[in-house]
């Protein structure tokens, strides 16, 4: 399928399948446009699209499982062997979503399933996407967990009554790990 992309907005979409959106440098959101069975080729396109939207950097990803009907064994191998993902949070509200997400329990990156987007983002944003290696999060002080308040500001996640995204220049001050 032809890919539509916009480097200015950080959005990549495969016209009929799914939407990949850059929420913040090194933070990607993936959602299905319609009910979809993910095969190896689609999984490879999804990973490549996410990597492209993240401008070639390693990234954290939040995946909306709604609309995902199934994942082939080959697609599971492709997705769970991705080396560019620092951490993944999946969310959905059906028992099938939970079953499909369970296949990633042994991925080489931290991966969790949640019943809603807010919980998924809360967990995901505890992983500093500016840290080159998520495993350093547990070993090194310079790559620290992010506070929930800082998380909400960094990704524009705010309460339901105020949905104004914050720009990078509006982030709260604090020590940060610099990009390589």
98-151 pLDDT, tens digit each:
888 888 888 899 999 999 999 999 998 887 666 544 444 433 433 344 444 554
Q: What is the average pLDDT across 49-68?
A: 93
Taking the C-alpha atoms of residue 132 and residue 32, their distance in angstroms, rounded to an integer, is 28
The pair of three-digit structure tokens given for residue 35, joined into one six-digit string? 């009910």
- pLDDT in the model for residue 78: 93
Phi, psi torsion values for 22, nearest 5 degrees: -85, 115
- The confidence score (pLDDT) of residue 136 equals 43
Calculate the alpha carbon distances from 76 to 44, 101, 139, 145, 167 in Å: 10, 10, 29, 28, 35
pLDDT category of residue 168 using cuts at 50, 70 and 90: very low
- Averaged over 159-168, what is the pLDDT? 35
Q: Give yes or no for residue 154 having a pLDDT over 70.
A: no
Report DSSP letters for 124-178, one per residue.
Answer: HTTS-TTSS-GGGGGT-SSS-PPPHHHHHHHTT---TT---PPPGGGSPP---PP
**Tell me: the pLDDT tens digits for 65-107?**
998 999 999 999 999 889 999 999 999 998 888 888 888 888 8
Q: Tokens at residue 49, please? A: 């699209």
- pLDDT score of 35 more than 70: yes
- By three-state DSSP, how is residue 41 classified? helix
Q: Who wins on pLDDT, 33 or 136?
A: 33
How many whole angstroms separate alpha carbon 138 and alpha carbon 41? 34
CATH code, residues 3-117: 3.30.750.24
Residue 42 neighbours by CB distance under 10 Å? 19
How far is 161 from 3, CA to CA, in rounded Å? 34
Under DSSP, the state recorded for 179 is P
Q: Would you state the pLDDT for residue 98? A: 87
pLDDT of residue 15: 52
More confident residue, 129 or 7: 129
Sorted by where each begins, the domain ranges of the chain are: 3-117
pLDDT of residue 180 exceeding 90:
no
From CA 109, how far away is CA 16, in angstroms rounded?
28
The pLDDT of residue 166 is above 70: no
DSSP-assigned beta bridge partners for residue 60: 27, 87
């Amino acid at each position: 399928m032809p890919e539509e992309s916009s480097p200015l907005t950080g959005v990549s979409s495969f016209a009929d399948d799914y939407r990949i959106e850059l929420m913040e440098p090194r933070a990607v959101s993936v959602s299905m446009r319609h009910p979809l069975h993910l095969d190896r080729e689609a999984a490879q396109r999804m990973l490549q699209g996410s990597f492209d939207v993240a401008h070639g950097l390693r990234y954290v990803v939040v995946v909306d499982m709604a609309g995902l009907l199934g994942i082939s064994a080959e697609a599971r191998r492709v997705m769970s062997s991705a080396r560019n993902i620092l951490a993944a949070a999946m969310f959905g509200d059906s028992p099938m979503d939970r079953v499909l997400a369970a296949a990633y329990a042994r991925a080489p990156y931290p991966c969790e399933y949640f019943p809603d987007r807010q919980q998924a983002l809360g967990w995901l944003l505890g992983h500093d996407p500016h840290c080159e290696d998520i495993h350093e999060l547990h070993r090194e002080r310079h790559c620290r967990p992010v506070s929930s308040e800082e998380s909400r500001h960094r990704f524009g996640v705010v309460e339901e009554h105020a949905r104004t995204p914050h720009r990078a220049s509006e982030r709260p001050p604090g020590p940060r790990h610099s990009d390589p």
